Structure 1
Amino acid sequence: ESGRWFAGAIALQVWSVAGPSDLKAVNMLMIKPFIVYNVVKRFDLIYEPYGISVYWNKPAGEKVYLPLGGGAEYEIPLGAKTTLNLGVQFFKNVIRPTKGTVYDLRFLIEFVL
């Protein structure tokens, strides 16, 4: 966190370690980055995709989802300790599996108590 900027990431690696032998093995990495730039009080520009995903068990060219894009979020005070956050983000998966999702559109309605 520095001035108007707030950034970080959460990473998660998932492996299957037990279960019936007829189930597919799981080996997936997901990195969830977030970047927030406070433009003015209660209004932010944001980059917070569902995550950058790598499916290690898939064939080459079919392993990665890499979303680029972003959006905005606005905070509406509702009381002394309650706010309503409204946001929208749009992403294009610039790297994706052949049959993967090309675009993601996210809407946010969030009550903060």
Structure 2
Amino acid sequence: MRFKASLIFCLALFVGASTAWAEEKGGDDLRSAVQNPISSLISLPFKFNFDYGAPNGEASFLSIQPVVPVTVGDWNLVNRAIIPLIDTPGPVAGTPNLPNPVPGDGATGLGDINYSLYFSPVKYDKAIWGIGPSISLPTATDSQLGSKKWSTGPTGVVLFQPGWGTIGGLVRQLWSVAGDSDRASVNQTLIEPFLNFNLPKGWYLLTDMVITANWQADSGNRWTVPLGGGFGKLFKIGNQAMNVRTEAYYNIEKPDSAPDWQWGFTVQFLFPK
């Protein structure tokens, strides 16, 4: 399965959607919530990624990433999941949920699902922060698409929101604790610095680089470090608030089997309280 038809739909949505935004009351508050990965905003993003330049060819990814926050007393409990659907002509390298690719001639299906729970205070001063556990589930429908391991570890995020936008970072560490003994252990760090610069009428510039380190690999194949960015826009279709963004990144450091560059497109449904 390829995701090209979905991509065409998303592009049409991005170009043809209503641009009503900035004049509406609360528009800037909504934009701040969207740029905060641990806000009290319920959202449903569909993130498409396309890899280019890998030795085994192009790969396509659709990550469904629901965010459901729950307020309990003075704390927000932010539930975040990453549900990856993958189409690849061969082993997948450098993805957050697959640190140890295995040989094969390609596969299509569900990858390993990751779930994180962030505990974040409702009231804060300047820094917004959250911390909690993360777990990766061996849900892949093909051995090439997942680690076959149960993995867990801590995750945390901190960000600041000055008047011009948002700056911050997310960190996650996973270690395998159970699973197929014939598969390599998981020991992976994810570092995700992000920056948004707001423009008029709901537009913004962004960079959101997902850096990974596979500590099980040799030093020359350990790091995946992308460099790049993109732009996005908030708008409404009828009463439905939406966020759409597109971005591209070049891997300045990567494993031998990883792609040279990638670009992505996200369509996010927003449900303000």
Common fold, TM-score beyond 0.5? Answer: yes
Question: Which is richer in strand?
Answer: 1
Picking from 41, 48, 61, the partner of 2:208 is 48
In the superposition, relative to structure 1, how do residues 20 and 79 fare at CA in structure 2: closer, same or farther (>3 Å)?
A: closer
Rounded to whole Å, the distance in 1 between the matches of 2:196 and 2:241 is: 18
Rounded to whole Å, the distance in 1 between the matches of 2:263 and 2:174 is: 26
Rounded to whole Å, the distance in 2 between the matches of 1:71 and 1:10 is: 19
Picking from 13, 19, 22, the partner of 2:173 is 13
Matched, 1:59 2:218: yes
Rounded to whole Å, the distance in 2 between the matches of 1:91 and 1:21 is: 35
Secondary structure in 2 matching 1:69: strand
Rounded to whole Å, the distance in 1 between the matches of 2:180 and 2:266 is: 39
In structure 2, the partner of 1:111 is 269
The CA deviation string for residues 23-61 of structure 1, in whole angstroms up to 9 with x for no partner, is 311110001221110022300001113x10000110111
**Amino acid in structure 2 at the alignment position of 1:68:** L
Q: TM-score, normalised to structure 1's length?
A: 0.88
Displacement of 1:79 in angstroms is 4.5
Give the unaligned 5+ runs of structure 2: 1-160
In structure 2, the partner of 1:3 is 163
**Amino acid in structure 1 at the alignment position of 2:216:** N
Picking from 95, 99, 106, the partner of 2:257 is 99
Rounded to whole Å, the distance in 2 between the matches of 1:110 and 1:20 is: 35
Secondary structure in 1 matching 2:199: strand
Q: TM-score, normalised to structure 2's length?
A: 0.39
Rounded to whole Å, the distance in 2 between the matches of 1:74 and 1:52 is: 24
Secondary structure in 1 matching 2:250: strand
In the superposition, relative to structure 1, how do residues 112 and 19 fare at CA in structure 2: closer, same or farther (>3 Å)?
A: closer
Secondary structure in 2 matching 1:41: helix
Kindly report the root-mean-square deviation, in angstroms, between the aligned alpha carbons of the 2 structures: 1.5
Rounded to whole Å, the distance in 2 between the matches of 1:111 and 1:18 is: 35
Displacement of 1:20 in angstroms is 4.7
Number of residue pairs matched by the alignment: 111
